[in-house]
Structure 1
Amino acid sequence: MGIEWEALQWGELITLLMIGTALGMDAFSLGIGMGMSGIRLLTILKVSLTIGIFHIVMPLIGIGLGLFLTSYVGHVAAYIGGMILVALGLHMLWNAFFGGKERSPLLKTTFWGLLLFSFSVSLDALSVGFSFGLFRVNVMLAVSIFGLMGMVLAAAGLLLGRRVGSWFGEYSEIFGAVILLGFGIKFLL
Structure 2
Amino acid sequence: MDFFTLLGLSVALGVDAFAVALAAGAVLDPFVERRWLRLGFHFGLFQAMMPVLGWLAGRGLQQWISAYDHWIAFALLSLVGGKMIFEALQSDAKKTSVRDPSRGWTLVILSVATSIDALAVGFSIALLGETILFPALIIGISAAIMTITGAFLGRRIGALWGHRAEVAGGIVLCAIGIKILLEDLFFQML
Please classify the TM superposition score into its range, dividing by the shorter chain length.
Answer: 0.5 to 0.7
Quote the residue 1:37 is aligned against: 27
The one-letter amino acid paired with 1:46 is R
User: Does residue 1:130 correspond to 2:123, yes or no?
Assistant: yes
Equivalent pairs, count: 148
Identity %: 27
Q: Give the CA RMSD over aligned residues.
A: 3.6
Quote the residue 2:6 is aligned against: 16
User: Does residue 1:46 correspond to 2:51, yes or no?
Assistant: no
The gaps in structure 1 that reach 5 residues or longer are 1-10, 93-103, 166-174
Quote the residue 2:58 is aligned against: 66
User: Does residue 1:116 correspond to 2:121, yes or no?
Assistant: no
The one-letter amino acid paired with 1:15 is T
**Larger Rg over CA atoms:** 1
Give, in whole Å, the separation in 2 of the partners of 1:123 and 1:16. Answer: 17
Give, in whole Å, the separation in 1 of the partners of 2:95 and 2:149. Answer: 24
Q: What SS is found at the alignment partner of 1:36?
A: helix
Q: Deviations over 1:50-101 (max 9, x none)?
A: 0000011100111122275x97xx569x69xx6xx98982773xxxxxxxxx
**How far is 1:164 from its partner?**
2.0
Is residue 20–residue 95 contact of structure 2 (8 Å, CA) maintained in 1? no
Q: What SS is found at the alignment partner of 2:2?
A: helix
Quote the residue 1:95 is aligned against: none
Give, in whole Å, the separation in 1 of the partners of 2:9 and 2:155. Answer: 26
Counterpart selection for 1:142 from 131, 135, 160: 135
Counterpart selection for 2:145 from 142, 148, 152: 152
The one-letter amino acid paired with 1:118 is S
Give, in whole Å, the separation in 2 of the partners of 1:158 and 1:38. Answer: 9
Give, in whole Å, the separation in 1 of the partners of 2:93 and 2:10. Answer: 24
The one-letter amino acid paired with 1:159 is F
1:83-98 aligned at under 5 Å gives the runs: 89=94, 92=97
The one-letter amino acid paired with 2:48 is I
Q: What SS is found at the alignment partner of 2:13?
A: helix
> Compared with structure 1, are the counterparts of its residues 127 and 88 closer, same or farther at alpha carbon in structure 2 (3 Å cutoff)?
farther
The one-letter amino acid paired with 2:136 is V
**How far is 1:157 from its partner?**
0.7
Is residue 7–residue 138 contact of structure 2 (8 Å, CA) maintained in 1? yes
The one-letter amino acid paired with 2:129 is R
The gaps in structure 2 that reach 5 residues or longer are 62-68, 171-190
**How far is 1:136 from its partner?**
3.1
> Compared with structure 1, are the counterparts of its residues 143 and 88 closer, same or farther at alpha carbon in structure 2 (3 Å cutoff)?
farther
| TM-score, length-scaled by structure 2 | 0.63
The one-letter amino acid paired with 1:148 is I
